[in-house]
Structure 1
């Protein structure tokens, strides 16, 4: 099977960090799978904020990963590495990738793949892994989310935000989101959020207090950091959990440790890409058992924004940086 692969493929890469315009098509060798890896012939690739940060030069790929951007793909299994028995050539899968999604072929650890069920379009399949893995791990594993609790999500119409709304609602949580503008608030409510706060026109701390009757929320999913952190802590109920997954508003925050002790608050956070292959495989297994049935029965679908050709990856990045998108941006590769 490996022998029948083409020698070269087209991919969207860059020579040096910079703005979206540095992305361009290039011809590269088709990679070959190592033991426990699969080679996916890519149909679609998701576009995520880490791709943009990598292109800017601030988020280098982990050792051994492809230098190409792209952390999630959908497609068909093109070749199997030694020892892979869970998949067969030709199977439709989506996968969390360590990098390399912006190419016609992408190497992925076999344990990071999920089957694409009937009824799930391949563009939608490519839009699931990165957000689903991130939200599941942070909200449900690190944040210990439970039915009946309330979750505050910043950036409610982002890829992560829309997935957090839908997944939390499926598991019985009340969801409050912040969004920039009335139209985005309306979109978040339509997706399923219980409350949407326009952070450009309202003080989200005061609004959370009003919505919760002064109690606060059990969990904050924060993608801003910086000066949002002390304000987020004001939104938390006693014994609340604060989870940071991005630092778009700044790397540093000043908080009262006395307040954390007095109110028994938990502060945590994570980045997914540097975690071990074994960790991601275990996460994929849990998602397949607990959350993937929602995909299989059609109850969970990503919110799709716009699809771009692989050759227009620069335009996809520009759209993401502009911040006007609602849901997921994907590239049509194959």
Structure 2
């Protein structure tokens, strides 16, 4: 089969489509013939040699959609021919991928097989961090940085569906307009506005209850300053840097909780639990039309390098898909 591989860390040009051995499934896995896979920031870090896949995992691609081609002997829920999407540790940039059965989801009704590739990573990331761990609930306020990203566009929709007031930051009026259309209540251009001041203004000085951030160091103190009493800050990444100084007194004063996590390094059991919660809580919202995948562009698998260039330019809104 064909798969995207690299032989050395580097820029997008190191991504090459090559013939490789087909994956073999174990007794708890399914083999998916890939329809599409979605690009994630983690893929670009992996390409640069900064985020190696877990031991034994296939290379690039943290999610996919497709049709089940074979099932392991311990797999009872899925059968050959099922149309599914899946959360992966790697291997989505390929024509076929082996996946633990607990990380597979049905394609939600009303979503095409191709577009379903845009759902697993964002749905599992948002639900596990914002709702399972940060306990965001109806009537609270929520700020997501990078509202026009894949994570951001999905977080807006699912938070609104849960009865939450949503604040977003983004770097252009075009991106903010998309966020508003998806349901964001307060849209802040971080290039022209101080988001801390705007958050305080919109909340009567209190601040928001939960913040989801991938910027990291430059935003850490600003995030703390933007939180309400008992506020929760969840770090999904550190695109702006990993080292910062913080006024610890401000954490104590507001009883703030700071958490950080990714999906890739979690145990199979933990991933299966998250996937199950997503199917139970998020999939009905998608079926009801309350949330949808936001796809910016489709590219063939052979143009993975172009996809990475586009992702790293931050010009996109939503997800970039590679079609196998």
Once the two structures are TM-superposed, the CA of residue 190 in structure 1 deviates from its matched residue by: 1.4
Inter-partner Cα distance in structure 2 for 1:151 and 1:230: 17
Q: Secondary structure at the match of 2:175?
A: helix
CA offsets per residue over residues 259-282 of structure 1, 9 Å max, x none?
211211111111110000110001
Q: Which residue of structure 2 aligns with residue 10 of structure 1?
A: 2
2:86 equivalent to 1:56: no
Aligned counterpart, 2:212? 221
Question: Structure 1 residue 32 and structure 2 residue 24: aligned?
Answer: yes
Give deviations 1:81-135, integer Å, cap 9, x for gaps.
Answer: 2211110001000000110000000111001011113421122200000000000
> Does residue 303 of structure 2 align to residue 312 of structure 1?
yes
| Cα separation, 2, equivalents of 1:280 and 1:295 | 20
Q: Distance in 1 between matches of 2:148 and 2:239?
A: 15
Task: Tell me the residue number matched to 1:148.
Answer: 139
1:35-114 equivalences under 5 Å are 35-66=27-58, 68-114=59-105
Structure 2 matches for 1:88-237, cutoff 5 A?
88-237=79-228
CA contact (8 A) 1:124 1:301 kept: no
Q: Alpha-carbon deviation of 1:20?
A: 0.6
Q: Quick one: distance in 2 between partners of 1:299 and 1:146?
A: 17
Aligned residue-pair number: 324
Provide the rounded CA distance (Å) in 1 between the counterparts of 2:185 and 2:291.
17
Deviation at 1:291, TM superposition (A): 1.4
Please report the TM-score for the alignment, with normalisation by the length of structure 1: 0.95
CA distance in 2, matches of 1:261, 1:278: 34
- Partner in structure 1 of residue 240 of structure 2: 249
User: What SS class does the counterpart of residue 243 from structure 1 fall into?
Assistant: strand
Q: Does 1:268 align with 2:259?
A: yes
How large is the Cα RMSD of the aligned pairs? 0.9
Deviation at 1:12, TM superposition (A): 1.2
Secondary structure of the 1:122 match is coil
| Cα contact 1:227–1:254 (8 A) shared by 2 | no
Say if 1:118 and 1:152 are closer, same or farther in 2 by CA, change over 3 A: closer
- Which ranges of structure 1 fall in alignment gaps of 5 or more residues? 1-8
TM-score (norm 2): 0.98
Deviation at 1:256, TM superposition (A): 1.8
Q: List gaps (5 residues or longer) in structure 2.
A: none
